Amino acid sequence: MPVNARPENYFILITGVPLKNLKELGNALETMNGWVFSHHVNESRNDFSSWVQSVLNEEELAEEIKNLKNMKDMEMRIFKHLVNRYL
């Protein structure tokens, strides 16, 4: 099972939706509006990669998604990681 962040370390999307683990992040990416993704991932930052590294301690995955600028690519990379690691 994916590791859950502590409640004080949940990722809070700009819309106010909290995410506690990689599965929830992947699911959110599946239906996320483009403006929400662009708020968190743009030329100056990648909030998802930062959270995956600093809170979930998934350094390899964080590095893999750090430069992804496409929501579907990031979603697929996260789910591939989950399948390879937990199934």
**What digits encode the pLDDT tens for the residues 52-85?**
999 999 999 999 999 999 999 999 999 999 999 9
Residue 80 lies in a domain: yes
69: in domain = yes
Q: Is residue 72 part of a domain?
A: yes
Range of the structural domain that residue 29 is part of: 7-86
55 touches 5 (CB < 8 A):
yes
Residue for token pair 């990648």: 46
Contact residues for 58 (Cβ-Cβ < 8 A; gap 6+): 22, 52, 81
pLDDT reported for residue 61? 98
76: how many CB neighbours lie within 10 A of its CB?
A: 15
In a domain, 66, yes or no: yes
Q: Does residue 15 carry a pLDDT above 80?
A: yes
pLDDT, tens digit (0-9, with 9 covering 90-100), for 38-51: 999 999 999 999 99
Write down the pLDDT at residue 26: 98
User: What size, in residues, is the chain?
Assistant: 87
Whether pLDDT at 1 is above 80: no
